[in-house]
Amino acid sequence: MTLRALFVIALTLASSGSGASDNLIISDAWVRATPPGKMMTAGYASIENVGKDVITITGVSAEVAGHTSLHETRIERDRSTMRPVAQLSIKAGERVSLKPGGLHIMLMKLSELLTDGQSIDICLELENNDSLCSAFSVARHRKAAHHH
Ligand SMILES: [Cu+2]
């Protein structure tokens, strides 16, 4: 076997191995600029599973935050409340939107204020110990929606 053939096999193994993180496409990723005096904020994104198997997100992390978790906002008795979401499963072909008023990434105990124009990394931890990190741009409001 030639060296080149071995190389091709190695590449194939690498890309067909776990692969869950390769099958998640993150778009429209943004984090709200920190409100005055608050060391917490929320991140939003659209997450699409382009693979053939369900993918479960079991946690989130960000270097700028001491505590990061998945949250869901719900309206209960006319009041908006948030509760942690232990995990989020995305079916094959499904797209889940993390958006204001719904699912979001909660960033708490921030080590710095986040201002418009900045960019921070947030990582999604997947159930097979895979993780997927992506740049989230900091903005006061979501930019005009993109439809593809
Ligand atoms: Cu929250």
The model's pLDDT over 30-44, given as tens digits with 9 standing for 90+, comes to 999 998 889 999 999
C-alpha of 63 from chain center = 14
Domains contained in the chain, number: 1
User: Does residue 31 fall inside a structural domain?
Assistant: yes
Dihedral angle sign, alpha carbons of residues 83, 88, 94, 95: positive
pTM of the model: 0.83
Token digits for 63? 């270097």
Phi, psi of 45 (to 5 degrees): -170, 170
User: Does residue 5 fall inside a structural domain?
Assistant: no
Token digits for 97? 């939107």
Please tell me the distance between residue 83's alpha carbon and the centre of ligand 1 in angstroms: 7
Please tell me the distance between residue 6's alpha carbon and the centre of ligand 1 in angstroms: 48
pLDDT digits (tens, 9 = 90+) for 63-110: 999 999 999 999 888 898 999 999 999 999 999 999 999 999 999 999
Q: Could you give the maximum distance between any two Cα atoms of the chain, in Å?
A: 69
Q: With H, G, I as helix, E, B as strand and everything else as coil, classify residue 21.
A: helix
CATH number at residue 134: 2.60.40.1890
- Domain hosting 78: range is 19-139
Amino acid at 111: S
Please tell me the distance between residue 131's alpha carbon and the centre of ligand 1 in angstroms: 21
* Paired sense of beta strands 119-126 and 79-84, if any: unpaired
User: Does residue 35 fall inside a structural domain?
Assistant: yes
Please tell me the distance between residue 42's alpha carbon and the centre of ligand 1 in angstroms: 6
Q: Which residue in the block uniquely carries the two structure tokens 């709200």?
A: 32
